[in-house]
Amino acid sequence: MINKAGRVLDFHEWAMGLMVGSAIAATLCCLLVGRPAPAGSRAARLLGGPSVPWQGRQSAVVMGAGMVALCVAHDDPRIALLVAAAGLGSALLGVAGLRGRAQVGDCVHRALGCLAMAMCAVASAGAVRGAPAPAAGIGGHHGSGMSVPIAVLAAGAVGALLVLMAVPRLRALAVVARGALVAPRAPAVLRAPRAPRADGRLLRDVESIAMAASLALMGALALVA
């Protein structure tokens, strides 16, 4: 594909564009859950359910804004360091006062996402500072000597977080599948139709998928020169 300037887009630009789009989608989904909507409408079923605590919302906003900043100013190590500091502070705030809350797991995942973003931003700053020419993407192995282990550590942290996010959902799917196999099903004529629940599950699932995609792309960009 060719951009407006007539230049062919490379892997880094494709990946950064997808990363930013996924991050923005995840942020919007997080902010929309629990918003008021007319009762009984499709929007109420989509947006219904408890809203995300402020700890989770601020982590989602910082993560989305940080990825946009890294994409726009990918050749400025100062921006990368500012993003790293913001991500670290957001990760600390993202787990404050969550004991006993129903959504503590999702908020912890968002906070860990901010921490992973901060590590990738540090790797980016080291790569750009040590490169002889402006870097083409987020991170790379052409920078200073410390940028390589930091990039590997950041990518490993992203991979661990993706596994941590996937495990509870796979367990839930396994429980549902096991229950469907064991529990006897009533005839279709006798089963009463169930009203759709307004729990915001769809938006939460979309947020999780978009967040996982953006973090995976960021981890890949931290490794690829």
The pLDDT value recorded for residue 184 is: 54
CB of 154 within 8 A of CB of 166?
A: no
* Domain parsing of the chain, residue ranges: 11-182+197-223
Residue type, 45: R
Supply 184's token pair. Answer: 């006897």
Most confident range, picked from 40-44, 130-134, 147-151: 147-151
Distance CA 15, CA 209 (A): 16
Distance CA 99, CA 80 (A): 32
For the chain, the residue count is 225
Lowest-confidence region among 126-135, 176-185, 187-196, 206-215: 187-196
The pLDDT value recorded for residue 38 is: 57
Q: Is the pLDDT of residue 81 over 90?
A: yes
The pLDDT value recorded for residue 172 is: 73
The DSSP-derived string for the chain is -B-TTSPBP-HHHHHHHHHHHHHHHHHHHHHHTT----TTSHHHHHH-SPPPPHHHHHHHHHHHHHHHHHHHTTT-HHHHHHHHHHHHHHHHHTTTT-TT-TTHHHHHHHHHHHHHHHHHHHHHHHHHHH-SS--SSS--SSS-TTHHHHHHHHHHHHHHHHHHHHHHHHHHHHHHHHHHHHSPPPPTTTPPPPPPP-S-HHHHHHHHHHHHHHHHHHHHHHH--
Residue 79 neighbours by CB distance under 10 Å: 19
Q: Per-residue confidence at 134, pLDDT binned at 50, 70, 90?
A: very low
pLDDT digits (tens, 9 = 90+) for 160-175: 888 888 887 788 777 7
The pLDDT value recorded for residue 73 is: 84
Average pLDDT over residues 80-105: 89
Q: Per-residue confidence at 82, pLDDT binned at 50, 70, 90?
A: very high
Distance CA 118, CA 124 (A): 10
pLDDT digits (tens, 9 = 90+) for 97-120: 888 777 788 899 999 999 999 998
Q: How much is the mean pLDDT over the chain?
A: 77
Average pLDDT over residues 125-153: 58
Supply 172's token pair. Answer: 């839930």
The pLDDT value recorded for residue 26 is: 94
